[in-house]
Amino acid sequence: MQPPFARLALLLILVLTAASHAAPSTATDDGVRELEWDALIPADWDPEKMMEQYDASGLSDADPKAKAMLKKIRQVWDAAPVVKALDGQRVKLPGFVVPLEMDAKSIKEFLLVPYYGACIHVPPPPTNQTVHVTMPAGEPYRGELFDTVWVTGVIRVERFNNDMGDAGYSIDAGRVEPYQ
């Protein structure tokens, strides 16, 4: 397992790379707005600039200063702002499935995350890069951990907390389909 600073650095690289290379959102013929993950990040929230105030050079992971710095960074990450204008829109968003409740291969709810391994191998993504997805009653998603999917439904700006990770958004899924 990587030390906390190495995992946090990897996470920042993944989020910043996704945000800087993503295509703008588009609307489909049925009025669904197809989003990329950067659409969930407010334009004025710059995690890279936030990280400039922290200098971890010369600190070991065991250093109390490093642990305190990591705690501060996690607090900012966990309080990441959301895009309130998305609330109530019909959207389609790609991502990876992190099941929260599971009965064999029948998943009733999951976190949708922007990159493989999120919430498991590295610190969870910021809350504005995590979506809590609930399936319709009696229609669970039939799949596995880290399946790559498109989720279509109405997005809500609402906080969800779980041991697997916190989310700043939720979607009651109308449709979950393989990403192709």
Q: In sequence order, what E strands does the chain have?
A: 26-27, 33-34, 90-103, 106-113, 131-134, 141-142, 148-160, 167-178
Length of the chain: 180
**pLDDT over 70 at 130, yes or no:** yes
Judge whether 133 and 111 are in contact, CB under 8 Å. yes
pLDDT tier at 176 (50, 70, 90 boundaries)? Answer: very high
Please report the pLDDT score of residue 47 as a whole number: 76
**pLDDT over 50 at 21, yes or no:** no
Phi, psi of 94 (to 5 degrees): -85, 155
Please report the pLDDT score of residue 1 as a whole number: 45
pLDDT tens digit string along 141-160?
A: 999 888 999 999 999 999 99
Judge whether 40 and 129 are in contact, CB under 8 Å. yes
Please state the pTM of the whole predicted model: 0.79
- Average pLDDT (64-89) is 88
Locate the domains of the chain by residue range.
1-180
Please report the pLDDT score of residue 117 as a whole number: 78
The number of angstroms, rounded, from the C-alpha of 73 to the middle of its chain's C-alpha atoms is 16
Q: Which CATH number does the domain 1-180 belong to among 2.40.50.870, 3.40.50.300, 2.30.31.70, 2.130.10.10?
A: 2.40.50.870
